[in-house]
Every structure is written in C-alpha cells, then in structure tokens.
Amino acid sequence: MSDPEAKRILDAASARFKTYKSVQATFTMKDEDAKGVVMGTKKGTVSMKNSRYRVSIAGGQEIFCDGTTTWTYDKNANEVTITKVDPSASTLSLQKLLTSFYDKDFLYKLNGEKKLNKKVMQEIQMTPVDKTKQFHTVYLMVDKAANTIYSTKILNNSGETLTYTINTFNGKVNLDDKIFVFDKTKYPGVEEVDLR
C-alpha cells in the first residue's frame, strides 16, 4: 500500500513537469560501490520533449531517442548502438524519473523533510512492484516549494548506488525535433550496431 501523502507530492511534481512543452536540464551523476566509495562523478545535459529525449554525458556518451528508436553513441569506440524503445525495460531512465512513472510501477512512502542548500526537500522512498528490476529502492528528493525533483538515488541489486542531482532546469527552452535523432553525417566513420 502506498502512502497518500507521498502520492500527493509525486502527483504535484508530475503535474508541474507536464506544464513544460520541452525541458533542458544539467545534472551530476555519482556512482558509488557497495561500501559507499565514489567510483565516479560525471556531468551531463538532458533535453526532453514529450516522449523524445537526448542525454549527453561528459566523457563521450550520448543517447538520442525519438520516441520509437534509441541511439546510444560511444565516442571512445566511435560506435552507435541502435535499439527499439522498450517501455517495459527493467532500467530506470532519467526521462522516466522526471515524469509520472511511479503510478503502477512502485510502492512509495514519504520519509519526511530535510534541508538541502537552504531549501526544504521532501524525501520519498520507492520500491518497485516488479522484483525482477535491476534496482530495489529509489530515494527521490522533491523541492517542496517548487514541486520539482531535485535528486534521485537508485540502489541497484549489485550494491551500487547511482545518484542523479539536477543542477539547472529550464522549462521554457525551444527544442528542434532534429536533436533527438542520431545524425551519422556528424560522426565521421561511426560504426553502427543495429539491434532493432
């Protein structure tokens, strides 16, 4: 059974997010091992418009999605992997984290409020209904005043923890649909691995 107060907070954050036609945000992704040792921190940018998104992570990974097809580009290998979008995938994408993904997929409860950077955050603990997922718990921090998601901590079954923190957020950006499609002419010599 999910906590009605947590649902109210999630619904408000989701409703706020849906008011944006398109979004661009910068984030920090922190990866920790089972002992809490930080294995890496990367910065990135995410652009979203309806079911389309593009994620660029410093160090050379880019993910393009036009709602039907996903292209994952690895700069170091100069290789792009092409897959069909699978809505039932066991992973948790940044795009899912910012929308109303929680309704059917999770049980959730409000853990209380914390102060972070002079702002009041509401922490919601979420556990997936489907126990075959690659993660067992998600902690969501919601900015109480703004009704926006500030950070997400994902505890994987391997013991690893991934934390995404939103650094900047622009809900008034104008995005061209072309940015969500991988244009191989801009990546000379790229090797395509088509798994569709």
161-179 pLDDT, tens digit per residue, is 999 999 999 999 999 999 9
Q: CATH number of the domain at 75, please.
A: 2.50.20.10
Identify the pLDDT of residue 93.
57
Q: For the chain, which ranges sit under pLDDT 50?
A: none
Looking at the structure of the chain, the number of domains it has is 1
Strands (E), the chain: 23-32, 38-49, 52-57, 61-65, 69-74, 79-84, 106-116, 119-128, 135-143, 148-156, 161-170, 191-194
Range of the domain at 58: 4-194
Identify the pLDDT of residue 133.
83
Identify the pLDDT of residue 96.
63
Sign of CA dihedral 48, 156, 195, 89: negative
